[in-house]
A and B are shown apart, each in its own frame.
Chain A
Amino acid sequence: MGSVYRLTLRQLSGRWRLGIMAVLATLPVIITLVTLASDEAPSIWDFDTGILGTMLAGSILPLVVLAIGGAAFGNEVEDRTLANLTLAPIARWRIALPKLLAVITVAAPFIAVSAMLTAHVAFLGDTRATLAVTMSALAGVAMYASVFVFLGLVSSHAVGVGLLYIVIWEGFFAGFVSGVRLLSIRYYAIAIMHALDPRRFALADDTLPAVAAVVAMVLVTGGFLVLATRRLRRMDVP
């Protein structure tokens, strides 16, 4: 399993990819600084829904994870090196799991640092709020990573399909149709953030209960990992 993990880390650590991730990850911090420096500083509610909910959890986080997660299998299917792994005498979950862990390993630092700095600046060093934002962002990384790793196995246009999912489902429907939030990774992450620091983030009516969000996180991450394993067992490997 370590071999697949190390191999995937090397595959995903191209300079261009990491450079773009770094630029994306700094955006929430820069926008927070600009917002706070303006004459009309935002309320906690505005900051929660605007920068944390929409920008970080709804855009930057999934985009960063898509760029990395979609390539984990997608690039190997495209350049036909996936056969090097599937022709090895190892169970298919021992290919899918290290791939997922490698994606989380590469994506998590960018998102964690971005979330931490954004919250630290916005909440003036409040440790609990900073931890809540960071931990929920990391939960989002795990969920999105599992979805996009699977997507890379089932579609040769993983990035395009992933972008449509982020914009249409997580951005539009989940943002405007409250019932869809029950099936939205973005809102699972936000619910975890609210649960970790309820004094800072006043619970909104449409926020999922913390237990439900954690269960959903486990189901999404584990479920798509199972689907990726199943796909590896049944697919025609190019």
Chain B
Amino acid sequence: MSAVPDTMTAAAPPAARATRTGAAAPVISVAGVSRWFGSVVAVSDVSFDIAPGITGLLGPNGAGKTTLLRMITGLAETSTGSVAVFGEPVRDNPPLYRRMGVMSEHETVYGFMKGRDFVRTMGRLRGVPDLERAVDRAVALVDLEEAQHRSMETYSRGMRQRMRLAATLVHDPEVLILDEPLNGADPRQRVHFKQLLMKLKAEGRTIVISSHILEEVEQLADNVLLIVNGKLAASGGFRAIRAALNQRPYHVRVVCDAPRELASAVVTLPSVDAVHVDPDGAVVILSRNVLDLQVELPRLAQRAGVSLRRVEPLDDSLESVFGYLVEG
């Protein structure tokens, strides 16, 4: 895969963009937004501002990320609250889409089209001047020049995603909103995609990228919005989010030959907050410092003459990690 080529230069240069959008003013403002479907609350009273750079919208599947992004892009109505992009309401405001590029999580392509035709059609719909050059640039950005004249039915999922990204970029938008864009991408494509996003960010664009995978967002985002159960659980730099995640209490299940002896010994450790023996004889430890526990537990067991058979985290799923932040 080739290096990421220079991105769009036909529209305003980055410096002009920064001036136009204002260095300090938020590009996207979400104020008190909620959305419910019948009795189901998908998004609950969420507020935040997004400035230029890459913002990661992180949360487990079903957290409300897509609903929130659909409201930010104007595709869905808010039940309460408001969304503004460049200070303008985004809903029922088509001219705003000249400055926005949106890539939804669904594979919204026309199977009967060739890749280049798809990008050209999207460019034409967005009123792109000098269309063929813009299509050339967009297709080159996603490194699909060789496949551009093939029917999209013959593309792999990753290729379709990349061609959709080209269609999203063809009108050189200042704001990019990408819902789970790395779905279906292989490792090589992920590297290329990340390079491309960093380049777009360096040009002063505002990029919102959603994911349910922490590592994806960690490598890209300057700022993270953590959504859990439709609520904004945390926001800020990734290090602060990561620190909050590391401080959460862990439940660790230990199977050994002498559970009561181990339980009475382990409760003296400073890294342990609580301990109990469950009905099937396993010791369940609650710890806020699991790194220390990893070191102390084998030593303690050795001193007490207890043989450890299995040590496993009980709640290491992404959902439980996020859930801690909400409850906390």
Of A11, A80, A88, the residue contacting B126 (CB under 8 A) is A88
* Residue numbers in B under 8 Å from A81 (CB-CB): 108-110
B232 within 8 A of A: no
- Binary contact readout B73-88 vs A (1 if CB under 8 angstroms, 0 otherwise): 1011100000000000
Take A88-B126, A89-B97 as given contacts and tell me if A83 and B75 are in contact as well, using a CB distance cutoff of 8 Å. yes
Contact indicator B75/A80 (Cβ below 8 Å): no
Of B77, B121, B125, B126, the residue contacting A236 (CB under 8 A) is B77
Q: Which residues of A (5-33) have their CB < 8 Å from a CB of B?
A: 7, 10-11
* Residue numbers in B under 8 Å from A83 (CB-CB): 75, 102, 104, 108
* Residue numbers in A under 8 Å from B94 (CB-CB): 88-92
Q: Which residues of A (179-238) have their CB < 8 Å from a CB of B?
A: 233-234, 236-237
Take A80-B104, A81-B108 as given contacts and tell me if A87 and B121 are in contact as well, using a CB distance cutoff of 8 Å. no
CA distance A83 to B76 in the complex (A): 11
Question: Shortest CB–CB separation between residue B189 and chain A, in angstroms?
Answer: 22
Of A4, A7, A86, A88, the residue contacting B75 (CB under 8 A) is A86
A-B contact count (CB 8 A): 58
Question: Shortest CB–CB separation between residue A5 and chain B, in angstroms?
Answer: 11
Question: Shortest CB–CB separation between residue B85 and chain A, in angstroms?
Answer: 12
A85 within 8 A of B: yes
Question: Shortest CB–CB separation between residue A166 and chain B, in angstroms?
Answer: 29
- Binary contact readout B98-141 vs A (1 if CB under 8 angstroms, 0 otherwise): 10101010101110100000000110111100000000000000
B96 within 8 A of A: yes
Contact indicator A88/B108 (Cβ below 8 Å): no
Take A89-B96, A91-B94, A237-B76 as given contacts and tell me if A84 and B108 are in contact as well, using a CB distance cutoff of 8 Å. yes
B280 within 8 A of A: no
Contact indicator A80/B106 (Cβ below 8 Å): yes
Of B76, B98, B108, B121, the residue contacting A89 (CB under 8 A) is B98
CA distance A79 to B104 in the complex (A): 13
Contact indicator A11/B110 (Cβ below 8 Å): yes
Take A7-B121, A88-B126 as given contacts and tell me if A233 and B92 are in contact as well, using a CB distance cutoff of 8 Å. yes
Contact indicator B112/A10 (Cβ below 8 Å): yes
Question: Shortest CB–CB separation between residue B172 and chain A, in angstroms?
Answer: 13
* Residue numbers in B under 8 Å from A233 (CB-CB): 92
Q: Which residues of A (121-174) have their CB < 8 Å from a CB of B?
A: none
CA distance A162 to B301 in the complex (A): 74
Residue ID in chain B nearest A6 by CB atoms: B121
Question: Shortest CB–CB separation between residue B92 and chain A, in angstroms?
Answer: 5
B70 within 8 A of A: yes
Contact indicator A234/B77 (Cβ below 8 Å): yes
CA distance A89 to B125 in the complex (A): 8
Question: Shortest CB–CB separation between residue A33 and chain B, in angstroms?
Answer: 37
Take A4-B125, A11-B110, A84-B125 as given contacts and tell me if A89 and B95 are in contact as well, using a CB distance cutoff of 8 Å. yes
Question: Shortest CB–CB separation between residue A15 and chain B, in angstroms?
Answer: 11
* Residue numbers in B under 8 Å from A10 (CB-CB): 110, 112
CA distance A110 to B100 in the complex (A): 41
* Residue numbers in A under 8 Å from B126 (CB-CB): 88-89
* Residue numbers in B under 8 Å from A85 (CB-CB): 125
* Residue numbers in A under 8 Å from B109 (CB-CB): 81
Question: Shortest CB–CB separation between residue B69 and chain A, in angstroms?
Answer: 12
Question: Shortest CB–CB separation between residue B28 and chain A, in angstroms?
Answer: 15
CA distance A203 to B95 in the complex (A): 52
* Residue numbers in B under 8 Å from A237 (CB-CB): 75-76
Question: Shortest CB–CB separation between residue A237 and chain B, in angstroms?
Answer: 5
Residue ID in chain A nearest B96 by CB atoms: A89
Question: Shortest CB–CB separation between residue B223 and chain A, in angstroms?
Answer: 24
A3 within 8 A of B: yes
Residue ID in chain A nearest B95 by CB atoms: A89
Residue ID in chain A nearest B70 by CB atoms: A236
CA distance A83 to B97 in the complex (A): 12
CA distance A4 to B98 in the complex (A): 17
Residue ID in chain B nearest A91 by CB atoms: B94
- Binary contact readout B281-308 vs A (1 if CB under 8 angstroms, 0 otherwise): 0000000000000000000000000000
Take A89-B98, A236-B75 as given contacts and tell me if A3 and B108 are in contact as well, using a CB distance cutoff of 8 Å. no
CA distance A92 to B94 in the complex (A): 8
Question: Shortest CB–CB separation between residue B80 and chain A, in angstroms?
Answer: 15
Question: Shortest CB–CB separation between residue A28 and chain B, in angstroms?
Answer: 31
* Residue numbers in A under 8 Å from B110 (CB-CB): 7, 10-11, 81
CA distance A7 to B123 in the complex (A): 13
Contact indicator B77/A88 (Cβ below 8 Å): no
- Binary contact readout B241-264 vs A (1 if CB under 8 angstroms, 0 otherwise): 000000000000000000000000
10 contacting pairs across A/B (C-beta < 8 A): A3-B125, A83-B102, A84-B108, A87-B73, A87-B100, A88-B125, A89-B126, A90-B125, A90-B127, A91-B94
B residues with a Cβ closer than 8 A to A are: 70, 73, 75-77, 92, 94-98, 100, 102, 104, 106, 108-110, 112, 121-122, 124-127, 167
A residues with a Cβ closer than 8 A to B are: 3-4, 7, 10-11, 79-81, 83-92, 233-234, 236-237
10 closest pairs, A vs B, by CB? A88-B125, A89-B97, A236-B76, A89-B98, A3-B124, A80-B106, A237-B75, A81-B108, A89-B94, A87-B102
